[in-house]
Amino acid sequence: MTYFEDIVLGVRREIGRHTFTAEEIKRFAGQFDPQPFHMDEEAAKRSHFGALCASGWHTAAWCMRFLVEDHDRHVAELKARGEPIAQWGPSPGFRDLQWLKPVYVGDTITYAAEPIEKRESKSRPQWGLLFSRNTGTNQKGELVYSFIGSAFIERRVKG
Amino acid sequence: MTYFEDIVLGVRREIGRHTFTAEEIKRFAGQFDPQPFHMDEEAAKRSHFGALCASGWHTAAWCMRFLVEDHDRHVAELKARGEPIAQWGPSPGFRDLQWLKPVYVGDTITYAAEPIEKRESKSRPQWGLLFSRNTGTNQKGELVYSFIGSAFIERRVKG
């Protein structure tokens, strides 16, 4: 990764897109969110969603996957250029997660990430805390998913 | 479910417990969070976690499963007693999700839910908005996971 000091705020980047199938929606829901409107087309029709749709945690899990892949791509690029690679630390959590619209069968969600805020860590001078707005948008351009993620990122200048 | 008006705040209930195996930690991570410390014991030893641990989204997914099972048990009890069943609406999202400690291989996480706040919905008078603190605690009694979930719940008295 880029060092904490070098991260530019306000630059949105696409990290991946995924089309949700009925089969995978039901498989994820069967394991982790077995509510009728995520499991069965007929029950979903009678629900407030009106049709089979993905668990919100399923939408979230794909975002995480694309965030990791984006990170790995970035590290590979730095390696290829022979540049130093800053460590990513653990995420202490996140805030403001919103499921804004259902993700229906056949919807293609484009995920994006945008660094929005940086804070130096007082307790851990070798790390900075980066906040990013991570989003999912469907093929109609509607925002379906959003959260503010956070991660510790190594500083170039230690303390 | 119990109607919005009948939900008692401040009562914590256990909703389920799960022991995380290396196999399932790697399987989930392979699909949704392919970072080395969730995928490989040796790489995890060299990471800031020190040992293989579950994706935070995996910890979160089990919580969702137990919330749904808890809801289903509750509905079954009401049915068995011939009592009316209030509808649960969609969740608009949640706030303050925290991964406080890693979940390592062999850890048993006990999940619990506690209703902490109720708000009448002005825009949807037939629904109330319930906030619950949902948590995961490991076998040492350490809090590892917490978030404030929200859900629309049907009101007994409409508007």
pLDDT along chain B (159 residues), means of 10: 89 97 97 95 94 96 95 92 85 83 97 95 86 97 94 81
For residues B36 and B88, the answer to whether their CB atoms sit within 8 Å is no
- State the best of B20, B31, B32 to mutate against chain A, taking most chain A CBs within 10 Å: B32
The residues pairing with B102 across neighbouring beta strands, listed in sequence order, are none
**What pLDDT score was predicted for residue B126?**
87
Instruction: Report d(CA B128, CA B106) in Å as an integer.
Output: 39
Chain A (115-144) residues lying within 8 Å, Cβ to Cβ, of chain B = none
**What pLDDT score was predicted for residue A100?**
92
Contact A60 B62 (CB under 8 A): no
Tokens representing A42? 């007929």
Instruction: Report d(CA A154, CA B138) in Å as an integer.
Output: 29
**What pLDDT score was predicted for residue B125?**
83
CA B82 to chain centre: 28
Q: Which residues in chain B have their CB less than 8 angstroms from residue A60's CB?
A: 57, 60
Instruction: Report d(CA A127, CA A124) in Å as an integer.
Output: 6
**What pLDDT score was predicted for residue A142?**
97
Instruction: Report d(CA A35, CA A93) in Å as an integer.
Output: 26
Instruction: Output the tens digit of pLDDT for each of chain A's 159 residues.
Output: 789 999 999 999 999 999 999 999 999 999 999 999 999 999 999 998 999 999 999 999 999 999 999 999 999 999 999 988 888 877 777 888 899 999 999 999 999 999 999 998 788 888 999 999 999 999 999 999 999 998 889 998 765
Instruction: Report d(CA B153, CA B125) in Å as an integer.
Output: 11
Tokens representing A158? 């230690």
CA distances, A1 to each of A83, A113, B43, B88 (Å)? 10, 15, 18, 43
Query: ipTM of the assembly?
Result: 0.83
**What pLDDT score was predicted for residue A158?**
62
**What pLDDT score was predicted for residue A27?**
97
Q: What is the pTM of this model?
A: 0.88
Instruction: Report d(CA B149, CA B67) in Å as an integer.
Output: 10
Q: Work out the minimum CA distance from A6 to partner chain B, whole angstroms.
A: 23
Tokens representing A58? 């399923």
Q: Work out the minimum CA distance from A67 to partner chain B, whole angstroms.
A: 9
**What pLDDT score was predicted for residue A67?**
94
For residues A41 and A115, the answer to whether their CB atoms sit within 8 Å is no
**What pLDDT score was predicted for residue B158?**
62
The DSSP string of A112-140 is: EEEEEEEEE-SS-TTEEEEEEEEEEE-TT
